[in-house]
């Protein structure tokens, strides 16, 4: 039988890569639903104040600070005939579906009870998604130890993650939330969110089962470390020792900054598209197209750039470009040199800039995730333990800040700018639109710049990683 370390050093079979990557579509559906529609739905459709919705979701995020690391650590310590990760992946599928359907179909409730519904279902959906996504992400460093192959693995994962989200976005705008006769857009149509929730639940279920079943044959090849100390105190000592890893801290800081910026952008997107750019009907359909093109571009570009200049430098450059590009149209608009909303040139120019921004933003996240996989061996050399679940739980917690911190900040920005509940496009005062634009642009650019600076501080590259992997191989391999 070939040595498992030697086997894992090569390329991952294409069928396995596709199945593993496809599982990320489940998170893509959940993430775009939360980030793009959750604040808008409960504020503009259900009538709750934006600031209160943002606060309720932020409170749910606080529980994630305990749930995600616990799932990661428990996944690392799980021992079964199906390995460490797959029991969690299979068990999470049905609870995710039920939680998602309940979240978007609240009964008639009082104001306070509706806020509790948002909070309680947000916690439940986040927890069940964590029970799948954390063990699933933790498979990535186990599938291959090769430095560049891990970037390829993450490129597939992010491609399918964005594809799932974009497909859901396009179906939402084009079918479930399509405008009815006489409407500029259909985002305020309450009934449309019923079909939206059913479609999303079905898509997540299929993605999870395909990924779990499609990678099941890899179980005999995956890492099987010895169980650690059994006491609760020992578990927390190991956890604290693991997360003090300096490379992990750099990636957490970079991810916290950028994913929060991304969360603000997604949560405000329907406000910005409606009230700043005056999108109508079919205009929304283009958003899914450009983001999908951006994901494909990142899938092709990120691994190649990283091989040439290294992951940390490439991630820093892509991140800085993403911050500049996304905010550029808003600065040009405020300066009076961007095509006016409704003009023939506005939409093509805006979409072209957003497409390049998507390539840069997604490329930076692919490389950040690939570097997180490399941190596993860096930590193992220092602690003697493999803690994939703990590291990817931390990364996943940061990703979920896109909807927690992002929706909190977005709710405050909407309230501060004075955007009324149920406001129709074209009815908001220009001063309020400008306030929304300036606040969003400053916050996004500042957070993206901070993320780029953190990536610059990542402490090792390909040579150091290869030396650690070589040291782990048995003599004579």
Give residue for tokens 């959940």. Answer: 30
Q: Residue 281's Cα: distance from chain center in Å? A: 27
Rg of the chain's alpha carbons, rounded to an integer? Answer: 22
Helix (H) or strand (E) holding 119: helix 111-138
pLDDT of 350 higher than 60: yes
- Integer angstrom CA distances of residue 147 from 144, 204, 309: 8, 30, 13
- The pair of three-digit structure tokens given for residue 374, joined into one six-digit string: 């490399």
Q: What is the DSSP letter of 420?
A: P
pLDDT band with cut points at 50, 70 and 90 for residue 225: low
Please answer whether residues 375 and 255 qualify as being in contact, where contact means their C-beta atoms are separated by less than 8 angstroms.
Answer: no
pLDDT of 226 higher than 70: no
Please answer whether residues 82 and 217 qualify as being in contact, where contact means their C-beta atoms are separated by less than 8 angstroms.
Answer: no
Give residue for tokens 């400053």. Answer: 442
pLDDT of 1 higher than 60: no
pLDDT at site 406: 77
| Residue range 78-84: mean pLDDT, rounded | 86
pLDDT of 92 higher than 90: yes
pLDDT of 161 higher than 50: yes
Of the two residues 443 and 186, the one the predictor is more confident about is: 443
Q: Over the stretch 318-339, which tens digit does the pLDDT of each residue have?
A: 999 999 999 999 999 999 999 9
Q: Is 333 left (phi over 0), alpha (psi -120 to 50) or beta?
A: alpha
pLDDT at site 184: 66
pLDDT at site 476: 43
Q: Over the stretch 2-24, which tens digit does the pLDDT of each residue have?
A: 334 334 556 788 899 999 999 99
Give residue for tokens 């597939």. Answer: 156
pLDDT of 220 higher than 80: yes
Please answer whether residues 266 and 405 qualify as being in contact, where contact means their C-beta atoms are separated by less than 8 angstroms.
Answer: no
Alpha carbons 88 and 383: distance in angstroms, whole number: 25
Task: State the burial class of residue 418 (Cβ atoms within 10 Å of its Cβ: 0-12, 13-18, 19+).
Answer: middle
pLDDT at site 300: 93
- The pair of three-digit structure tokens given for residue 411, joined into one six-digit string: 């709710």
pLDDT of 240 higher than 50: yes
- The pair of three-digit structure tokens given for residue 8, joined into one six-digit string: 């894992």
Alpha carbons 316 and 470: distance in angstroms, whole number: 28
pLDDT at site 175: 87
Of the two residues 64 and 120, the one the predictor is more confident about is: 120
- The pair of three-digit structure tokens given for residue 112, joined into one six-digit string: 């306070």
pLDDT of 233 higher than 70: no
Alpha carbons 24 and 394: distance in angstroms, whole number: 17
| Residue range 380-389: mean pLDDT, rounded | 71
Alpha carbons 76 and 167: distance in angstroms, whole number: 33
Give residue for tokens 């996943």. Answer: 396
Mean per-residue pLDDT of the chain: 84
Residue among 293, 291, 21, 262 nearest 158 (CA) = 21
- The pair of three-digit structure tokens given for residue 168, joined into one six-digit string: 């859901």
pLDDT band with cut points at 50, 70 and 90 for residue 72: confident
pLDDT at site 160: 93
Q: Over the stretch 241-262, which tens digit does the pLDDT of each residue have?
A: 666 788 888 998 998 899 889 8
pLDDT at site 177: 87
Residue among 452, 474, 443 nearest 364 (CA) = 452
pLDDT of 288 higher than 50: yes
pLDDT band with cut points at 50, 70 and 90 for residue 88: very high
Helix (H) or strand (E) holding 398: helix 388-400
Q: Over the stretch 403-461, which tens digit does the pLDDT of each residue have?
A: 677 777 888 888 888 888 767 777 788 898 899 999 999 999 999 999 999 999 998 87
Please answer whether residues 190 and 196 qualify as being in contact, where contact means their C-beta atoms are separated by less than 8 angstroms.
Answer: no
pLDDT at site 400: 67
Give residue for tokens 């650019």. Answer: 445
Please answer whether residues 395 and 262 qualify as being in contact, where contact means their C-beta atoms are separated by less than 8 angstroms.
Answer: no
Residue among 54, 425, 44, 49 nearest 263 (CA) = 54
pLDDT at site 425: 72
pLDDT at site 334: 92
pLDDT at site 6: 36
pLDDT of 267 higher than 60: yes
| Residue range 25-31: mean pLDDT, rounded | 91
pLDDT of 239 higher than 80: no
pLDDT at site 111: 93
Give residue for tokens 């782990």. Answer: 472
Of the ranges 120-124, 330-334, 342-346, 388-392, which one carries the lowest mean pLDDT score?
Answer: 388-392
The percent of residues in the chain predicted with pLDDT above 70, rounded, is 88
Task: State the burial class of residue 4 (Cβ atoms within 10 Å of its Cβ: 0-12, 13-18, 19+).
Answer: middle
Of the two residues 79 and 322, the one the predictor is more confident about is: 322
Residue among 367, 118, 76, 6 nearest 235 (CA) = 76
Of the two residues 445 and 60, the one the predictor is more confident about is: 445
pLDDT of 363 higher than 60: yes
pLDDT band with cut points at 50, 70 and 90 for residue 475: very low
Alpha carbons 303 and 366: distance in angstroms, whole number: 9
Phi, psi angle pair for 230, to nearest 5°: -85, -15
Please answer whether residues 252 and 457 qualify as being in contact, where contact means their C-beta atoms are separated by less than 8 angstroms.
Answer: no
Q: Which sign, positive or negative, has the C-alpha torsion 128, 131, 137, 139?
A: negative
Alpha carbons 75 and 116: distance in angstroms, whole number: 30
Residue among 54, 23, 453, 447 nearest 259 (CA) = 447
Please answer whether residues 102 and 121 qualify as being in contact, where contact means their C-beta atoms are separated by less than 8 angstroms.
Answer: yes
Please answer whether residues 386 and 223 qualify as being in contact, where contact means their C-beta atoms are separated by less than 8 angstroms.
Answer: yes
């Amino acid at each position: 039988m070939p040595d498992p370390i030697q086997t894992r050093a090569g390329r991952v079979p294409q069928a396995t890569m596709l199945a593993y990557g496809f599982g990320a579509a489940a998170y893509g559906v959940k993430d775009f639903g939360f980030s793009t529609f959750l604040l808008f739905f409960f504020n503009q459709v259900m009538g709750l104040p934006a600031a209160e919705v943002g606060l309720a979701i932020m409170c749910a995020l606080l529980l994630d600070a305990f749930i995600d690391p616990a799932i990661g650590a428990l996944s690392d310590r799980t021992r079964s005939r199906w390995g460490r990760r797959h029991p969690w992946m299979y068990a999470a599928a049905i609870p995710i579906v039920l939680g998602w359907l309940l979240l978007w179909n609240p009964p008639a409730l009082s104001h306070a009870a509706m806020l509790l519904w948002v909070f309680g279902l947000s916690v439940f959906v986040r927890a069940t998604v964590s029970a799948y996504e954390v063990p699933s992400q933790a498979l990535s460093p186990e599938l291959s130890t090769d430095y560049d192959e891990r970037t390829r693995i993450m490129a597939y994962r992010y491609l399918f993650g964005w594809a799932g989200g974009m497909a859901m976005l396009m179906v939402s705008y084009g079918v479930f939330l399509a405008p009815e006769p006489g409407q500029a857009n259909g985002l305020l149509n309450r009934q449309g969110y019923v079909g939206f929730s059913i479609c999303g639940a079905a898509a997540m279920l299929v993605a999870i089962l395909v990924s779990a079943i499609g990678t099941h044959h890899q179980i005999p090849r995956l890492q099987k470390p010895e169980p650690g100390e059994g006491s609760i105190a020992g578990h927390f000592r190991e956890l604290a020792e693991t997360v003090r890893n300096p490379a992990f801290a750099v990636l957490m800081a970079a991810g916290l900054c950028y994913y929060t910026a991304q969360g603000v952008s997604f949560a405000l997107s329907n406000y910005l598209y409606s009230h700043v750019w005056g999108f109508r009907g079919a205009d929304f359909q283009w958003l899914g197209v450009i983001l999908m093109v951006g994901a494909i571009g990142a899938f092709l570009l990120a691994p190649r750039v990283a091989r040439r200049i290294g992951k940390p430098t490439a991630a820093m450059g892509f991140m800085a470009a993403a911050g500049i590009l996304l905010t550029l149209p808003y600065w040009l608009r405020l300066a009076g040199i961007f095509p006016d909303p409704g003009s023939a040139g506005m939409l093509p120019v805006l979409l072209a800039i957003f497409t390049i921004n998507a390539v840069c933003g997604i490329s930076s996240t692919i490389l950040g995730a690939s570097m997180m996989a490399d941190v596993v061996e860096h930590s193992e050399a220092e602690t003697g333990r493999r803690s994939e679940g703990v590291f990817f739980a931390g990364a996943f917690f940061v990703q979920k800040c896109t909807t927690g911190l992002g929706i909190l900040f977005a709710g405050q920005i909407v309230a501060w700018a004075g955007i009324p509940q149920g406001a129709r496009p074209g009815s908001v005062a220009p001063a309020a639109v400008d306030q929304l634009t300036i606040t969003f642009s400053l916050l996004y650019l500042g957070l993206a710049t901070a993320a780029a600076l953190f990536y610059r501080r990542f402490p090792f590259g390909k040579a150091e990683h290869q030396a650690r992997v070589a040291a782990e191989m048995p003599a004579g391999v």
